[in-house]
Amino acid sequence: MPRKLGIYVCSGCSIGESVDTDQLVKVGTRECKAAVCRSHPALCGAEGIAGIRSDIAAGTVDTVLIAGCSPRTKTEVFTFDSNIVLERVNLREHVAWAHTPKDEDTQMLAEDYLRMYAAKAHKCEPLEPPSDAISKKLMVVGGGIAGITAALEAAAADYEVVLVEKEAKLGGFLGGLKKRFPTKPPYTEAESDGFAAKIEQALYSPKIQVLTSATILKTEGQPGMFDVTIQSGENTTTVRVGAIVVATGWKPYDASKLGHLGYGNSPDVVTNVELEKMAAGGRIVRPSDNKPVQSVLFVQCAGSRDKDHLAYCSSACCMATLKQAGYIHEQNPDAKVYIVYKDMRTPGHYERFYRAAQDNPLVFLTKGEVVSCDASSSSGVTVNVRGTLLGEEISIHADLVVLATGMVPNAGNDTDSVLKLTYRQGPELPVLKHGFPDSHFVCFPYETRRTGIYAAGAVRAAMTGAHAEEDALGAAMKAIQSVELASHGQAVHPRAGDMSFPSFLLQRCTQCKRCTEECPFGALDEDVKGTPKPNIYRCRRCGVCMGACPERIISYKNYSVDMIASMIKAIEVPEEEEEKPRVLVFMCENDSYPALDIAGFRRMQYDASVRVIPLRCLGSLNIVWIADALSSGFDGVMLFGCKYGDDYQCHFVKGSELANKRLENVKETLDRLQLERERLESIQLSIDEYGKVPELINNFMERIREMGPNPYKGM
Amino acid sequence: MAATLRIEPDAAFVKDVIANGGGDLKKCYQCATCTAACTLSTEARPFPRKQMIEAQWGLKEQLVSDPALWLCHNCGECSDRCPRGARPGDVMGALRRAAIRHFAFPSFMGRAVANAKALPALLLVPALIFAAIALYAPKGHVEEGARKFADVFPTNFIEPLFFVVAALALLGFAIGLSRFIAALRAGGADGAILAGLVPALALIFRHSRFKECKGKAGDRYLGHFLMFLGFVGLGVMGTIVGLGTMAGVMETPLAITNPLKIFANICALAVLIGSVMLLVHRSKLAATSTYFDWYFLLTLVLTAATGIASELLRLAQAAAWMYAVYFTHLVLIFTLFLYAPYSKFAHLVYRTVAIAAAEGRSTR
């Protein structure tokens, strides 16, 4: 329904020198059904803003169109009450700064943008954030160092916490160590005081409810209202929480697979975890005959950085070995300790620990590859090593061999789930590489592909206890952020603060299940028939569902298929004789649109035949827009989105990948219409590649000119 | 190389290297910056990275038979570049000391010369000998006129004594050397030594390695070259004069205008200037110098100084002083030569042979 539109054109920042703003005001008044349309030399100044506010106060205007700088700038200045619809037209970075001033094509570009956004604004409605009862209680799954730290930090910030631990006691792996890695300067000695104090704090904190011997039976609901059913000992309870931190930690790599290193062939070949238990329980002895240990050989990277076992480095095993070398020498100062490594990795402050450990003349280190561990001799093990720094293949006899095995995350999977989510897309956090939950999110660790659920500690990435403490703090903060945003009806990363949410016109739904499948975050559950059930607090407002729906039943109050289609139709496409091609460019708001802004900052010029429409994610591209564009006479369409694949950058994980797939289908339609496939181009770009954008656009325009105009133009 | 080498680290050896100059040995983490920085290290025989890890692993047999220990000329560039402060240059010095001790015959001499506590005893022996000669040896006919050293220290005792000293030193060298060569062969350095000696000596005489081996403290080329030439000259002179006097065709002291005497004096000055230059250089070094280092260098400087001082005092006919200073000079020459196979002086033999063995052919 038409709204009371106020169009305000800013002529500052050289916009006035580039386009005829008076002419723009005329276009706005004549064509855009505007209640008010005027220009001002500095809209962002006090006078400019005051003018707009007085129009609103007078009731003349309830929809504001600011035609000036990029919507990514001056957001704190151009902000109005939530009952006002606000749209921003980018006349500065995308018009004045990037095209020839006082030129006919530049003027046409500016006028088209005005028409597009006016058309969209008329279809928008003010946002009304949902107001549901949101729980701000947090759940932490896992009572090891990460879990306990997350719980304590959240409690210190005044949030209630439920801490769920599978074992009978808190502490996790770190609780069972003899000593832990140094946590304070000068970082040269292992520490004995563990974290018993923290465990006590967690047990007695009034804000933390600790459930031990507990397993999760199911997790229903959505952020702000997760209903988690927990069995703790004999009791079953259901708690309502707002966000969940998963800190389930790790388990050692299965050493029974390391027979080639002697494990299982001799009792004198043990793992680092077994050695730690021995040390924590008392004395370290040779398992075969309980005799004291005069020499020990540590094999680093046992089953790690190995294509047949774990591909990755667990980052903590080198430190563990150096620490355990200290245990050996504490017990027997004359014992010889050999360490055979692929590399010694002791990052950051741990380098000092390495140096201190190295100083002992009875610690012998060499790079090397262990060929075999033979227990055939009567006592101890003979280890053959090749590729050593000593230049030969060597053989060393040791009373005890310790395999430094790696860390495997305790992330659940579909058959063996920890969280047991009742989500249509599956009961667990999706996994990306090596069994770790997918938190490959660009710049956003702790995030997972399930909104409101954050991974922290060794389950997220192999790490030491000190790193897990930091990680836990970060995840706790993210969890708190998510419940606070949810309580205002706002989305989390990457569209933090977004108050729009999708609505579904279910009468026209054909149960094709594309939206429930394609939502990257599992926000949509299904009923028996396949009708989607939205859980709006899981939603990240990307619009991938909107792009997927062939019936176009999904829309937001300020973003819909119809709005974009209106924008396309509002563009004036010149007749074929005028020889002014028109190309539509869909750009994702995350990296591509900002890249074009930066090109504008740099005054990089490009062809003014393009019309840019920003999308929340390329995944929200509905292919009907391409059909609309071609039938409106557009000569070509470009898509700019973020990289997808294994090392994805797409901020909504799968969006640009889906857009590409859909584009393939459209290309088949083009074939049937006897249009060249090359009229459609899809490009993956990251923000640092802004320099390429003008070139890509210009090259495309050149190819379009060579292909000639769209034969359907003017029909 | 194909066979597997059974490793059994010699922990006592590691501790010995650490205690005697290689104090920062364990800081090395094998980055090989030292080998890359060394101007004398070659692809065929790279050092000192490998020696560092062998030292860390206490592989004494491998190390003492490694000619690379002696290819190093101790400029200290590697120590300056080492990112960990492991001071590989110092470790190489400590390893050379350990090698000399290892091959020393008799072994108690090897231990004594390296030990500061034994110094008084080592000096006492020659002091007593020369005191005995001065006090009890029959002086023969003392001519009227200018005083000469032979009045107190008769040549017919001194010269044979020094030939005995030389013989003992040569014996010590011979045995030590044969052990060293056996070890070199066992270690795989099988260059033909005799054949390699000619190019080796040419190299040494040109001092080409010293020119290349330049650390932050500058180069020792000039200092060592002067001292080396002076020493060789004095050695030749000493032998000629010794043989000459024993055969009766010469009489010492030679006249100051005698060409041989002039040549000898020039050589003595060269030794003094050269050794003082080296002393100054060593005191400027950031490297740790051990007793083993100072003992040799100070003995050299003092020998040259007392020698020149003796001559000057004799020319001035300063009665009390000339004999006293000459006595000191004799004691110092004795220690310099008799203890040569056990002190840092031994490098003259070990390094030459190592270079010859290494020149012979390139390593595996």
Give the gap in angstroms from C-alpha B24 to the nearest C-alpha of chain A.
Answer: 8
- For A257-321, what is the HEC assignment? HCHHHCECCECCEEEHHHHHHHHHHCCCECCCCCCECCEEEEEEEECCCCCCCCCCCCCCHHHHH
Contacts of B9 in chain A (CB under 8 A): 336, 364
How confident is the model at residue B364, as a pLDDT?
A: 39
The average pLDDT across B279-283 equals 87
* CA-based nearest residue to A521, from A244, A228, A222: A222
Q: Is A356 on the interface with B (CB under 8 A)?
A: no
* CA-based nearest residue to A547, from A531, A564, A529, A535: A564
Contact B56 A344 (CB under 8 A): no
Instruction: Mark residue A434 as left, alpha or beta (left: phi above 0; alpha: psi -120 to 50; beta: remaining).
Output: left
Contacts of A397 in chain B (CB under 8 A): 6, 8
Q: How far is A523 from A464, CA to CA, in rounded Å? A: 33
Give the gap in angstroms from C-alpha B106 to the nearest C-alpha of chain A.
Answer: 29
Q: Is B16 on the interface with A (CB under 8 A)?
A: no
Instruction: Mark residue A142 as left, alpha or beta (left: phi above 0; alpha: psi -120 to 50; beta: remaining).
Output: left
pLDDT of B60 > 60? The answer is yes
pLDDT of B40 > 80? The answer is yes
List the beta bridge partners of residue A9.
A39, A67
Q: What is the ipTM of this complex?
A: 0.88
DSSP assignment of B204-260 equals HHHTHHHHH--BTTB--HHHHHHHHHHHHHHHHHHHHHHHHHHHTS--SSPPTTSHH
Q: Is A342 on the interface with B (CB under 8 A)?
A: no
Q: Show which of residues 125-154 on chain B sit within 8 Å of chain A, judged by CB atoms.
A: none
| Confidence tier at B211 by pLDDT (50, 70, 90) | confident
Q: Is B6 on the interface with A (CB under 8 A)?
A: yes
- Residue pLDDT, tens place only, B4-24: 888 999 999 999 999 988 999
Q: Is A394 on the interface with B (CB under 8 A)?
A: yes
Residue type, B312: L
How confident is the model at residue B163, as a pLDDT?
A: 86
| Residue A684, both tokens | 């993956």
Q: Are A75 and A97 spatial neighbours (Cβ–Cβ below 8 Å)?
A: no
Q: Are A438 and A418 spatial neighbours (Cβ–Cβ below 8 Å)?
A: no
Count how many Cα atoms sit within 13 Å of the Cα of residue B29 in the half-sphere of its side chain: 16
DSSP state of A488: T
Nearest CA in chain A to B56: A364
Collapsed DSSP state (helix, strand, coil) of residue A552:
coil
pLDDT of B306 > 80? The answer is yes
Give the gap in angstroms from C-alpha A688 to the nearest C-alpha of chain B.
Answer: 35
pLDDT of B244 > 90? The answer is no
Tell me the average pLDDT of chain B. Answer: 88
Contact B53 A366 (CB under 8 A): yes
Q: Is B8 on the interface with A (CB under 8 A)?
A: yes
Q: Which residues contact A200 (CB under 8 A, 6 or more apart)?
A: none
- Give 3-state DSSP helix, strand, coil % of chain A, rounded to 5: 30, 25, 45
Contact B7 A395 (CB under 8 A): yes
Q: Is B59 on the interface with A (CB under 8 A)?
A: yes
Collapsed DSSP state (helix, strand, coil) of residue A637:
strand
For A643, phi then psi, to 5°, come to -60, 140
What is the crossing angle of helices B155-186 and B88-103, to 10°?
Answer: 110
Q: Is A578 on the interface with B (CB under 8 A)?
A: no
Q: How far is B242 from B156, CA to CA, in rounded Å? A: 10
Q: Which residues contact B113 (CB under 8 A, 6 or more apart)?
A: B104, B122, B295, B339, B342, B343
DSSP assignment of B303-317 equals HHHHHHHHHHHHHHT
* CA-based nearest residue to A159, from A205, A200, A227, A100: A205
B364 CB-contact burial (10 Å; exposed 0-12 / middle 13-18 / buried 19+)? exposed
Mean pLDDT by groups of 10 residues along chain A of 715 residues: 89 95 95 94 95 95 96 95 94 97 96 97 93 95 97 97 96 93 94 88 96 96 96 94 97 95 93 96 91 95 95 96 96 96 95 96 96 81 92 91 96 88 94 83 80 95 94 96 95 91 94 93 92 94 94 95 96 90 95 96 96 95 91 93 87 89 85 87 93 97 94 80
Q: Are B335 and B126 spatial neighbours (Cβ–Cβ below 8 Å)?
A: yes
Contacts of A362 in chain B (CB under 8 A): 11, 14
List the beta bridge partners of residue A209.
A162
| Residue A697, both tokens | 């656009």
The average pLDDT across B307-335 equals 90
Residue type, B16: D
